[in-house]
A and B are shown apart, each in its own frame.
Chain A
Amino acid sequence: MFRLALLLLLAATPAAAHYGMIIPSDPMLAQEEGRSVDLTISFSHPFEEDGMILERPEAFTVTHDGETAGLLGDLSEATVMDEPGYTLTHELERPGTHVFAMTPVPYWEPAEDAFIQHFTKTYVSAYGDDEGWDAELGLRTEIVPLSKPFGLWAGNVFQGIVHLEGDPVPYAEVEVEFYNVGQQTSAPSELMITQTIKADADGVFTYAAPSAGWWGFAALNTAPETMDQDGEAKAVELGAVIWVHFEAWQ
């Protein structure tokens, strides 16, 4: 009986990966479209649109032209994918690339017997100026873009370098998942909800997105330290997450 219950529980657990998410209303804001972007911030399984609870993050910032400003106090509580998340409207005062980044509090995941902390970011270009598209923020772990993280056609490749503590991670594992808004597509196999690729010896990975929309890339590493859960030392998974929008070929 216990075994059956366990099997049912496992079967009900989504096969998809966990993702910190920062999704802007527009990855390339033109001057005719206004002066601000709306951001939706969550912790979710994006392919299945299965939300999880996002605690108030440790940090939420925007970086532009080498300057970083804290936005934590500007976050508004919201329900995202039926679970607590946040929204934010942020004015883009100047042209160039504005990088939004979240450091969440570590999340205890009993199913993985580990804590998860996904350092999450997304890049927004303002007013036709893409300067700063390759900015590295200096997060504990981070995907540094080699391709512009916006302005890509569906079918283009996205390339990035996985960094951990500032250094490239050889052969880093990178999970890739589509934000399947409105459940517009289905996967022929559970293996294709989250695709897994590996970086090369220099920490560089490459992925060609098959369709337009938001794609999340999560490079996962294990922290050298542990965290305490019920008196036991548990592993901490550090995720470097970047969200990239691919445009439909017109």
Chain B
Amino acid sequence: MIRGTLALIVALALAGPAMAHRVNVFASVQDGKAGEEVVVEAKFSTGRIPALGEVRVEDAGGAVLATYPLEDGAARFPLDRESAAGGLSITVRTDDDHEGYWLLTPADLDPGS
């Protein structure tokens, strides 16, 4: 009975409004020491920074190119222009299961073009 009640509480908590702590994701191309890199930034709608999480990078066809750890709301990885030619979908999933994404479009990769 107690176990059932706990399961119900957990289920209700998981079904709770994720929007209350939406995670906003932004990514941009910057010049790094070793060349161009994509800088990923994540923060909750409250303004707080997620401590830990995972960044999943997909190409325009939805193929997963890589995953990276998110630390203190940020991650960075080298820009491979060939695989990014059609744009990149960058999804952040925080350790407490909040998810958000940023679409790095071809135009974002070539500002001013």
Of residues 179 to 233 in A, which have CB atoms within 8 Å of B's CB atoms?
none
Of B4-12, B55-63, B65-73, B101-109, the one contacting chain A is B101-109
Smallest beta-carbon distance A170→chain B, Å: 32
Task: Give Cα distance in the complex from A128 to B28, angstroms.
Answer: 16
B26 and A94 contacting across the interface, CB-CB below 8 Å: yes
A31 and B22 contacting across the interface, CB-CB below 8 Å: no
Smallest beta-carbon distance A95→chain B, Å: 5
Cβ contact of B24, chosen from A32, A35, A93, A129, cutoff 8 A: A129
| Residue on A nearest B108 in the bound complex, by CB | A35
B17 close to chain A: CB less than 8 A: no
Cβ contact of A95, chosen from B22, B26, B107, B108, cutoff 8 A: B26
A127 close to chain B: CB less than 8 A: yes
B16 close to chain A: CB less than 8 A: no
Residues of B with C-beta under 8 A to A32: 103
Task: Give Cα distance in the complex from A94 to B102, angstroms.
Answer: 12
Task: Give Cα distance in the complex from A31 to B103, angstroms.
Answer: 8
By the criterion of a CB under 8 Å from any partner CB, how many residues of chain A are at the interface? Answer: 11
Q: Is the interface of A mostly helix, strand, loop or mixed?
A: loop
A and B contact pairs by CB, cutoff 8 A, 22 listed: A31-B102, A31-B103, A32-B103, A35-B107, A35-B108, A93-B28, A94-B26, A94-B28, A95-B24, A95-B26, A127-B24, A127-B26, A127-B102, A128-B22, A128-B24, A128-B45, A129-B24, A129-B26, A129-B43, A129-B45, A130-B45, A131-B47
Residues of B with C-beta under 8 A to A94: 26, 28
Chain A 77-108, CB-CB to B under 8 Å as 1, else 0, gives 00000000000000001110000000000000
Chain A 116-138, CB-CB to B under 8 Å as 1, else 0, gives 00000000000111110000000
Residues of B with C-beta under 8 A to A128: 22, 24, 45
Interface residues of A (CB under 8 A from B): 31-32, 35, 93-95, 127-131
Task: Give Cα distance in the complex from A95 to B107, angstroms.
Answer: 17
Smallest beta-carbon distance B46→chain A, Å: 10
| Residue on A nearest B104 in the bound complex, by CB | A31
Residues of B with C-beta under 8 A to A93: 28
Residues of A with C-beta under 8 A to B22: 128
Q: A127-B24, A127-B26 are in contact. List 12 more A-B contacts (CB 8 A).
A: A31-B102, A32-B103, A35-B107, A93-B28, A94-B26, A95-B24, A95-B26, A128-B45, A129-B24, A129-B26, A130-B45, A131-B47
Task: Give Cα distance in the complex from A16 to B108, angstroms.
Answer: 44
Task: Give Cα distance in the complex from A31 to B45, angstroms.
Answer: 16
Task: Give Cα distance in the complex from A32 to B89, angstroms.
Answer: 12
| Residue on A nearest B103 in the bound complex, by CB | A31
Smallest beta-carbon distance A36→chain B, Å: 11
Task: Give Cα distance in the complex from A32 to B24, angstroms.
Answer: 14
Chain B 18-40, CB-CB to A under 8 Å as 1, else 0, gives 00001010101000000000000
Residues of A with C-beta under 8 A to B24: 95, 127-129
Task: Give Cα distance in the complex from A93 to B39, angstroms.
Answer: 14
